[in-house]
Structures are given as structure tokens and as C-alpha cells.
Amino acid sequence: MLIRKNQTGFEHPVPSEITPQHFYSGRRDWLRLMAGGAAGAAMATWASREAFAQGAVAPVRPGKLAALAAVKSTVAGATTMEKLTEYKDASTYNNFYEFGTDKADPARNAGTLKTTPWTVQVDGLVNKPTRFALEDLLKLSAMEERTYRLRCVEGWSMVIPWVGYSMSELIKRVEPQGSAKYVEFITLADPKTMPFVGSRVLEWPYVEALRMDEAMHPLTLLTFGMYGEVLPNQNGAPVRLVVPWKYGFKSGKSLVRIRFTDKQPATAWNKSAPQEYGFYSNVNPTVDHPRWSQATERRIGEDGLFAKRRKTLMFNGYEAQVGQLYAGMDLRKLY
């Protein structure tokens, strides 16, 4: 990676190496926010968000979101022993373009999102198409806590204790047909509550997808919480996907529809910039982004912009669990 030295002697990545060109200018606001010590305080604005309905979680505690109890997962590879990213960092440094393109925008703007009532339509090539109310999804399977790494294509990473259950639990309930080869995840696109929906950054709604075997893998998590609480709005409330061996943009937030299909769906970033963002988007240190290396990453919370970069792991460190899904595939071409 090219490094630029400023007048103080500190080194930091050139903005063009970590962010698409049309988003550079927003970084200045984020730097001012961090310099003023306001990043941790940003969460306080949203601390009073409504609890989930029908007693699914405990009442909101002062200064916190509603608790979401879970047991430790026994799924192989579901818990890393690495140091957790602090909650204030994980909840104030986000990609959620429906609320803005700067990393601090979601925490500032996502308070407008209304998470109750909420439903998720599951349809397509299934025998039992169903519209699930949020409270029904919460009861569908036992909640587990899983500590996953999150690696974003821009070169930063976090370690977060997520709360949810394997996506396969939902998939089994709707009985996919034999012709279903892919699962498409469609997110909310409401310009009334999401101020950047309608912008030309991407096509809306935001769409992601997985191959069926990827969606069925035990590590693929249908996620309702983090750090023992329900998801903050800016992290994808009230329900999102977490696919730990893929770059973060594959984990769709604020899901409203899950559709089973026999054809590979067109996904948001693949449509926007197919030369940069492939369908699979597995974390792969040997395949560079056209504008920067993927060989190393910066762990958020470790000395900020000036942290020593660490080596990126193949499949984000989950190769033993998921490598067999891609046996025989050329992962440089199928990126």
C-alpha cells in the first residue's frame, strides 16, 4: 500500500486506497467527529429506541438498548478468542449507505428508522412461503452468541459478539424446492426513514445473495443483536445477516424479504462496480481490490488510523470451516 506522510510525521493511508472516489470528502466530517471525542457519545441519541414487542426481550435499561439473552454457540469456529472491539467503536463506525456514505453517518442518522412493527417475507422457490413477524423470528430458534471477525473490503476489521441463530434454521422451516440454488436478501428501502435511499450511490433496495450451500452453512448467522443487546439501528436493526468469511457488504442489514431462486441474483455492489465487487466476495488476501491491496487490514480501536496493520487471513480465518464450499474453484476469477 502507498503511504503518505503528513507534516507531523505520522503515516496514514491515502483516502483513495480505502474508499471509492466519490466518498472521499465525507471522511473530513468523520475525522472532526473523532478528534472532538464525539464518536462514543453518538450512541446516546439512540439509547431510547423501542424494545421488541410481546416480551421477547427484557425492558430497556437506562443508557442501553433492550437486552437479548443468548447461550454460547457450540458451532465449530463460532467463537474467536481475539480481543473484542469496543461497543462504542462497533456502533459508530459503520457502512450503511441508506443513512449516508461517511462511516459516522449511520450513527448520526439512523434514529429515524422504525423497527416495530417489522415483517420479513420469505418466498420464491419454497413450499411454505411465509411472512414472519419479528416476534415470530425471535422465537424460531434458540439465540446464540457468536464472536465473529468482520472484515470490510476497505481494509478494516472488527471482532464483535453477535446474537442470533444459523440461517439454516429459517431455511428449513420454509422447505426450499430442489430447483432453488440461491438465496436473495432484500433490505428495507424507505426514503421517509432512510435519508440516502434514492441517492445515486447504488440501486435501491440494497440486495445481496448467497449460494444455497453458503446460506445453509452453520456459520451463516441470522442476527438480531450484538454485545448482549438488540441491534442498534445503525448496525442493521432489527434483523440482518452476518457471513463471517465474506467481506462485510455481503451481510445485508434491515432485511425485509428473503427470496429463493434458481438463478444467481444481481447484487448491489456487483451491479454498481462489477470490476471491483464480485458475487462471491470471499475474504482473500491474494486477490487485491483494483485500487488497493487486501493483504493486510486495520483493526478498528487499535490506535485509530495509525495502528499497525495485521495480515488478512484467507476466508477471514474461517478456512477450516468453509474452504470445502469452494473446492476446485478458481477464487481469483470467481472473486
Please tell me the total number of residues recorded for the chain in this structure: 335
Residue pointed to by grid coordinates 441470522: 222
User: HEC profile for the chain?
Assistant: CCEEECCCCCEEECHHHCCCHHHCCHHHHHHHHHHCCCCHHHHHHHCCCCCCCCCCCCCCCCCCCCECCCEECCCCCCECCCCCCCHHHHCCCCCCHHHCCCCCHHHHHHHHCCCCCCEEEEEECECCCEEEEHHHHHHCCCCEEEEEEEECCCCEEEEEEEEEEEHHHHHHHHCECCCCCEEEEEECCCCCCCCCCCCCCCCCCCEEEEEHHHHHCCCCEEEEEECCEECCHHHCCCCEEECCCECHHHCCCCEEEEEEECCCCCCHHHHHCCCCCCCCCECCCCCCECCECCCEEEECCCCHHHCCCEECCHHHHCHHHHHHHHCCCCCCCCC
Residue 6 has what pLDDT?
36
Kindly state the cell numbers that stand for 330: 478458481
Angle at 297 between CA 294 and CA 303, to 5 degrees: 160
Please report how many Cα atoms fall inside a 13 Å half-sphere around the Cα of residue 34, on the Cβ side.
18
Residue 2 has what pLDDT?
34
Q: What is the pTM of this model?
A: 0.82
Residue 308 has what pLDDT?
82
What number of other Cβ atoms are within 10 A of residue 7's Cβ? 5
- Burial-class residue 8 by CB neighbours within 10 Å (0-12, 13-18, 19+): exposed
Kindly state the cell numbers that stand for 172: 428449513
Q: Within its chain, how far is the Cα of 231 from the centroid?
A: 11
Domains of the chain and CATH, by start: 3-326 (3.90.420.10)
Residue 33 has what pLDDT?
32
What number of other Cβ atoms are within 10 A of residue 6's Cβ? 8
Kindly state the cell numbers that stand for 180: 432453488
pLDDT averaged per 10 residues in sequence order, the chain, 335 residues:
32 35 36 34 31 35 78 95 95 97 96 97 98 97 98 97 98 98 98 95 97 98 98 98 98 98 97 94 96 94 77 98 97 92
